[in-house]
Amino acid sequence: MSAEEIRKFHELLELTYWASGRTLNEVEESLQSSVIVSARHVEDGFVGCARAVTDKVTFSWICDVVVQAAHRRRGVGKELVRRLLAHPDVAATRKVLVTQDAQSFYQQLGFGTHRYECMIKYPEKVEPIRSSEPP
């Protein structure tokens, strides 16, 4: 993705409930270790993106699936996810995701509810150690 497309992706993510507050730099870095599928409109340019974090063998995390509001409900989102799921680094793995309200969107793409409960550990705030302090 070009720098301009990453900037537009960052703008789209800023409007979401899960990635609002993520910095442009964080978005850029997250893309470096992800499989990415993006959509471009002939006139409007970048209109959407989806990414996966994967070990290529056992497990992929599908995330940051977002389409510009003016281009929704035209099949772009489903096509993004379909192509992501078919990517060689993702295809053979278990694909996992978390969503607040787009369950029916993902059900249409073959996702179902996991039989186990999803758990999470958020990163702890790491305070930098001042050089005057003992190790």
104 vs 113, which CB is nearer to ligand COA? Answer: 104
25 vs 104, which CB is nearer to ligand COA? Answer: 104
What is the distance between the alpha carbons of residues 111 and 106, in angstroms, rounded to a whole number? 5
61 vs 105, which CB is nearer to ligand COA? Answer: 105
Sheet holding 45-54, edge to edge: 35-41, 45-54, 59-67, 94-96
Q: Judged by CB under 6 A, which stretch of 53-61, 84-92, 96-104, 120-128 contacts ligand COA?
A: 96-104
Contact 108, 80 (CB under 8 A): no
Contact 74, 86 (CB under 8 A): no
Of 82, 102, 98, nearest to 90 (Cα)?
Answer: 82
How far separated are the first and last CA of the chain, in Å rounded? 42
Q: Min. distance of Cβ 52 from ligand COA in angstroms?
A: 13
Q: Which residue is nearest to ligand COA (CB)?
A: 77
**Footprint on residues 11-70 left by ligand COA (CB under 6 A):** 16, 65-67
The residue behind tokens 């993510």 is 13
Q: Judged by CB under 6 A, which stretch of 28-36, 71-79, 111-119, 121-129 contacts ligand COA?
A: 71-79
Q: Min. distance of Cβ 42 from ligand COA in angstroms?
A: 16
Residues within the interface to ligand COA (CB under 6 A): 16, 65-67, 72-78, 99, 101-102, 104-105
